[in-house]
Amino acid sequence: MDGRVLCLVVLASLLSLTWTKNLTCLKSASSCEECIRSGPDCGWCMDPKLPPLCDTAATLHRGLCSRVYDPRGDVMILRNQPADGISILLEPQDLSITLRPGVSRVFELTLTRSSDQLNKELTLETSTVPEAFNITLKQISTTHPAVFEVSLLADECPSNDDSNQSQNKTGPWSVHIKPSGFSQITKLEVSLECDCECQHKPEPNSPECDTHGSRVCGLCLCQEPYSGSNCQTNNNYCRRKPLAPVCSGRGICDNNFCVCNEIPDNDGKYSGRFCECNDFDCPRYNGSLCGGRGKCQCGECLCDEGWTGDDCTCTMDFAPCMANNQMICNGRGMCDCGACRCEPPFSGPTCESCPTCENRCQRHIRCAECRVFESDR
């Protein structure tokens, strides 16, 4: 087999994962992990003088970001025992490899063997792995000892919404490279690099977080009751009372003031110091807000001129209440919403009707009888 290329490819997968090529970086990423998962060339800016940003690492460096998190994986040799009287030997014997999906890692493997073993092939033995990755062996030297180039490439990171929480998603997994028919092996311990190392190194009480939170991968994780990109906002200033929802649950607290949300399916916004107001939750009449004769403001109707009442259906016009004597409700009642409320026993539209009342003649009949008949009864 000397002088010819040996190429062995192993594709091991228990998950139906697909790596989408040429992904652009997720510029809307809200975390370092979300960013680096969006593509192999993506980096996360952690410069304290700049806002956290996801873009290609090259773009971030051109943008003068002084701290770009851009993991490329690593190959670490753990054991490399040299050949010493051993008839066949692989060097190195033990490696730890981290792979960022989409970024290949390469190392050289040396095979020392005696002259009667020159035709021995290398084989791959792998444990069961839940992520697809490729391993390629390529002979790059035909001299003795033989040198092989080992290339590893992972397809993609596992999905965070995978329901199988017990499965080892990112390794490590064992991969063995060995000469056929011999026990000597090179052991690879392979892991996927799918999160950010900086997530495990928080900076507590960071000055960039106004000392009210920890800085993690360039982002501030604020302590209660603080919020904001630099923990500069005290949410207690945005509560109507202690433990009340921030901005009544209808907005966000920004620099200690509420910024109210837009009202769903409406052209307006919530309003008020704590977003407690809205301009649609007012009384209606015949399906019309404020009876169609006013404007809703903070849950109350501001009626048009000439109208009043909770739903603006009460007219302030006294004309319908004017009696023939030009007195409102004949002086026997009160004009309410364009209609008389008469005092008993008066009735009628203008309180001019009183069936049980004495008329003028009935009221003066006794006086007339006294004068005409000189009677005192």
| pLDDT greater than 80 at residue 17 | no
**Maximum alpha-carbon separation in the chain:** 166
Of 147, 169, 168, nearest to 90 by C-alpha is 147
Is 163 within 8 Å of 173 (Cβ atoms)? Answer: no
Question: Confidence band (pLDDT; 50, 70, 90) for 133?
Answer: confident
What is the per-residue pLDDT for 357?
81
Rounded Cα distance between 193 and 3, Å, is 36
Rounded Cα distance between 93 and 78, Å, is 8
Q: In this predicted model, what pLDDT tens digit does every residue of 254-293 receive, in sequence order?
A: 889 999 988 877 767 788 899 998 888 889 998 888 999 9
Q: Which residue has the higher pLDDT, 53 or 166?
A: 53
Domain ranges of the chain: 1-158+169-200, 284-315
Q: Which two tokens stand for residue 16?
A: 């139906």
Average pLDDT over residues 318-337: 92
What is the per-residue pLDDT for 118?
56
Determine which of 164-178, 232-246, 346-360 has the lowest per-residue pLDDT on average.
164-178
CATH superfamily entry for domain 284-315: Laminin (2.10.25.10)
Average pLDDT over residues 149-176: 76
Q: Which pTM value belongs to this model?
A: 0.61
Q: In this predicted model, what pLDDT tens digit does every residue of 39-87 receive, in sequence order?
A: 999 999 998 888 889 999 999 999 889 999 999 999 999 999 876 666 6
What is the per-residue pLDDT for 228?
87
* CATH domain 1-158+169-200 topology: Immunoglobulin-like (2.60.40)
Q: Which two tokens stand for residue 72?
A: 């490329």
Close Cβ partners of 64 (under 8 Å, ≥ 6 residues apart): none
Q: Which two tokens stand for residue 169?
A: 């998603």
Torsion sign (Cα): 14, 16, 20, 25 = negative
- pLDDT > 90 fraction of the chain, expressed in percent and rounded: 47
What is the per-residue pLDDT for 113?
74
What is the per-residue pLDDT for 64?
86
Strands 94-99 and 186-192, by their bridges, are: parallel
Question: Confidence band (pLDDT; 50, 70, 90) for 12?
Answer: very low
Q: Which two tokens stand for residue 131?
A: 């992520």
Q: In this predicted model, what pLDDT tens digit does every residue of 293-309 receive, in sequence order?
A: 998 888 889 999 999 99
| pLDDT greater than 90 at residue 346 | yes
Q: Which two tokens stand for residue 246?
A: 């921030």
Question: Confidence band (pLDDT; 50, 70, 90) for 29?
Answer: very high
Question: Confidence band (pLDDT; 50, 70, 90) for 130?
Answer: low
